[in-house]
Structure 1
Amino acid sequence: MIRETRFLISRKPFAVDLDTLTGRQAGGIDRITFSGSVNALWFRRQSGVTRACLGTLKLWSHYLPQPLNLDDPHAVLSADLDGRYGGDCEGRWDGERYWGAQEPDVQQQHLAILRPMLANYPEIPDGYDGWWTFQEPR
């Protein structure tokens, strides 16, 4: 992933909770594989409507030239990881409608994050590190 200094929604950036980064690696002499995940927030736009989203971002690589330092979240995120499918959205808010969990308590937890996130677009929400993207630099 690449950490960018400015927000461009077209680059599909994510803000991540570094404390939630988990992963495992395996391999031998010629290759290391990695599989992990991190909680993330992101904005997406559809039909001219900006949406705040939260969920899990799956991270993996089938080939890394050397082991990752799993104790350094920035080093893990900066590796050549694949995340082509984006985040697994668990909740989404567009300013009018919520989509996501059916449990009222979980909905309220999500909205407590998503409402201020959308109101402060495109700021990085407190407690998150961003903006990270899988897209190559331009």
Structure 2
Amino acid sequence: MHRETRFLISRKPYAIDLDSLRVTEPGPHGSAWAQVDAVWFRRRNGITIACTGTLRDLQDRTPGDVHEFLAAFTDGRYGGNCHGRWDGERYWGAQTPFQMALDLTVLEPMLADYPNIPEGYDGWWTFQPA
């Protein structure tokens, strides 16, 4: 992934929580699953939606920090793992009221402030070629 200086929804950018890197114990060949929390905007049927979730990747070697993880994460075919999304009228995601409320505390203001990066996140990161 690489960081872009401006937001273009067509480039499918993500805003990353740089303090959220989680890595599993390395396997026998040194590879490890790593993931970060992220938020992003997408369009569905002409409607802008805000999403929250994770970016997850099996890395050949254990990343030392979040920037090493992002530099090695080059296959964006599957995009982010969406845990919740908000279109201004409907929420999709967790079914527990507590998690729904947590998600909406991020997603509602995020959509209202489109296309700005939510506080606590760094963006915009994309898999698209530079």
TM range (shorter): 0.7 to 0.9
Instruction: Please tell me whether the aligned partners of residues 84 and 91 of structure 2 are also in contact (alpha carbons under 8 angstroms).
Output: yes
Map of 1:82 onto structure 2: 75
Deviations along 1:30-66, whole A, 9 cap, x unmatched?
xx7453111110001011000000011112345xxxx
Q: Secondary structure of 1:110's match?
A: helix
The two structures have a TM-score, normalised by structure 2, of 0.87
Matched, 1:103 2:96: yes
Map of 1:58 onto structure 2: 56
Q: Higher Cα Rg: structure 1 or 2? A: 1
The two structures have a TM-score, normalised by structure 1, of 0.83
- Alpha-carbon distance in 2 for matches of 1:34, 1:7: 31
Q: Which runs of 5+ in 2 are unaligned?
A: none
Q: Secondary structure of 1:108's match?
A: helix
Matched, 1:35 2:24: no
Q: Secondary structure of 1:74's match?
A: helix
The structural deviation recorded for 1:80 is: 4.8
Please show how residues 119-130 of structure 1 align to structure 2 within 5 Å.
Answer: 119-130=112-123
- Alpha-carbon distance in 2 for matches of 1:93, 1:126: 18
- Alpha-carbon distance in 2 for matches of 1:75, 1:129: 15
Map of 1:46 onto structure 2: 44
Q: Which runs of 5+ in 1 are unaligned?
A: none
Map of 2:17 onto structure 1: 17
Q: Comparing both structures, which one devotes a greater share of its residues to strand?
A: 1
- Alpha-carbon distance in 2 for matches of 1:58, 1:83: 10
Q: Secondary structure of 1:127's match?
A: coil
Instruction: Please tell me whether the aligned partners of residues 14 and 41 of structure 1 are also in contact (alpha carbons under 8 angstroms).
Output: yes
- Alpha-carbon distance in 2 for matches of 1:69, 1:61: 8
| Aligned residue pair count | 129
- Alpha-carbon distance in 2 for matches of 1:9, 1:113: 19
Q: 1:17 to 1:92 in 2, by over 3 A?
A: same
Deviations along 1:74-103, whole A, 9 cap, x unmatched?
232123532320111111000011111111
Map of 2:4 onto structure 1: 4
